Amino acid sequence: MFDNEKSKFSESWSLPPEQIEARSFEIIAKLLPEVSHTDHSWPVISRIVHATGDPSIASLVRIHPEAIEAGVNALRAGCPIVADVGMVAAGISRRLADNLGCRLICAIDSPGVAEMARKEGITRSAAAVRALSSILQGAVVAIGNAPTALFALLDAIDGRQPVPALIVGTPVGFVGAAESKGELVRRCESGPPYITVAGTRGGSAVAAAAVNALLRLAAGKDGL
């Protein structure tokens, strides 16, 4: 019995990476029978589930009706991808982004952001949104860590600038995260389109997974 279990384990961890990933998505598809696997949002939902290892998060994903098309079109046009923090940027496939001509920017590391935050008494993430307003126009913006960045972006949009092509807003935590994502859905009902996760859950891995799903779609690797 032990030898059989050991053999099965060895077979699993010795699989090539692409086979492990393929098997993972086969399992995810079986775990989510209520989600249509032919739906245009399936690549995003399945990659978020894959990134978190949690099928229950699928019921919390909120995708604007125009989000997938808007994100894919923007990426195919070589738009910038702006991540709020380094953890989000690190999780996004630089190879796919480079192949599409999309510059990957970590907002919080931009020059002058720390000084602006100190002078204005705001978080560096919020200051980064203000500092990069010209770059955010027409970009895919991925906020996976800081609710303050998402609030700042929504306030800027209310002021008629900037208008990203797509907002991936998945900040995580118990202070402002759920509220910021609720505001994203409320304020952007008529655009710009968004992808988010309701409630306190989310995070950098979720934001990166959503962007990677769109990059794969834009590159013709998953449908569309």
Structure tokens at 206: 């979720």
Q: Which residues contact 19 (CB under 8 A, 6 or more apart)?
A: none
Full strand arrangement of the beta sheet holding 104-106: 61-63, 194-197, 166-169, 140-143, 81-83, 104-106
Secondary structure element (H or E) that encloses residue 51, with its range: helix 42-52
**What's the pLDDT band for 213 if we cut at 50, 70, 90?**
very high
Segment 101-128 shows an average pLDDT of 92
Of all residues in the chain, what percent carry a pLDDT higher than 70? 91
Q: Which of the residue ranges 36-45, 94-103, 208-217 would you say has the lowest mean pLDDT?
A: 36-45
Segment of 37-46, 89-98, 122-131 carrying the highest mean pLDDT: 89-98
50: annotated active-site residue = yes
Question: Whole-prediction pTM value?
Answer: 0.89
Q: Which residues of 45-67 are buried (b: 16+ CB within 10 A; e: fewer)?
A: bbbbbbbbeebebbebbebbeeb
Select which of 37, 40, 50, 64 is catalytic: 50
Nearest-angstrom CA–CA distance, 64 and 25: 23
**What's the pLDDT band for 1 if we cut at 50, 70, 90?**
very low
Just give the CATH number of 38-218. 3.40.50.10230
